[in-house]
Homo-oligomer: A and B are copies of this chain.
Amino acid sequence: MIIVLKPGTSEQDIQQVADAVKKFNYEPRLIRGVERTIVACVGNERSHHTLESLIVLPQVESVTPIQKKYKLVSREYQARDTVLDVAGCKIGGDTFHVIAGPCSVENEAQTLETAKAVKSYGATLFRGGAFKPRTSPYDFQGLGRDGLALLQQARAATGLPIVTEVMSPQDVEMVAACADILQIGARNAQNVPLLAAAAASGKTILLKRGVSGLIDEWLLAAEYICVHGNSKVILCERGIRTFETYTRNTMDISAIPVVKKLSHLPMVADPSHGTGRRDKVAPMARAAVAAGADALLIEVHPDPDRALSDGAQSLRPEQFEELMAQLRMIAPAVGRTI
């Protein structure tokens, strides 16, 4: 922690701050500058009590933490990239992976048709929602348990590993029995009991960034999973909320290189939720690959206009095929193959 004192602070008031710092078991070091004295506080900020409440002392101008709160997810803790093996798909390595499928699984025909189509065009994992967190209670909430059965059929038919969302700690066991990757959605990005329960399943977790999640909050949510003994986490950028409304969210493509530098975990980008508009999915998917993502999460639906959720952002199978061809051209520029 760095405590900056106001100009003209008296010796006595400087000492008061130093004493307060010692009470919290940090060691204060005074640096007397041109206008201001600063107090550098030596001690482990992760395990010690925060000094931020000292901001309310009249002589204190600012209190700035130095140490990042997250540890297990950081590059300092593990310099090399984490590569996760999900039923044979090595996510985070040289091969770029595309996870594709409908927003919600709706029935057997739609599920199987989509799974077979995306596999034929190059997707290596299948996504589909059975439990859907919806903003309105009047919207389709997913098929639930029946949806999980359809996902199992899709895996049986195609061999593709399954990615699906879990919304409640009570459902983790049931969903984990069917899924290869448990998705935690943006609305649950700081749902601590859910993070803990999902971690305990031992499954790989795909953790979306919160609706307006700071990168530090996102990494700390991943840290919650790691401290519960499960370090198989994939981080998913899915757009943040800004003032611009032409797109449903503003996809923060720069978060990809930022997080890849801070953390060893693999990163996936979700341009479907990131834009909310079918015709923006391909440009943003290309951008995500070019910026260094490890994988993509793409919504595909055989008849998007009739989709029970998020049809406006779902690609038709033939659009997905075209996108895959473009991605194959871009990947080598960032040292990847698809």
Contact = CB atoms under 8 A, between A and B. Distances in A.
A133 B190 contact: yes
Interface in A215-256: 215-217, 220, 223-224, 227, 240-247, 250-256
Contacts of A292: 283
Given A42-B34, A251-B253, A56 B277 contact: yes
Interface residues of A, number: 106
B304 A53 contact: yes
A188 interface: yes
Contacts of A245: 245
Nearest to A284: B254
Contacts of A136: 46, 69-70, 220, 223
A215 B333 contact: no
Interface of A: 2, 4, 6-8, 20, 29, 31-36, 38, 40, 42-44, 46-47, 49, 52-56, 62, 64, 66-67, 69-70, 76, 133-138, 141, 167-170, 187-188, 190-193, 210-212, 214-217, 220, 223-224, 227, 240-247, 250-258, 261, 274-275, 277-280, 283-284, 286-292, 304-305, 307-308, 311-312, 326, 329-330, 332-334
Given A62-B66, A167-B191, A254-B280, 9 more contacts: A7-B76, A55-B277, A56-B278, A64-B64, A187-B191, A211-B211, A212-B212, A214-B243, A289-B290
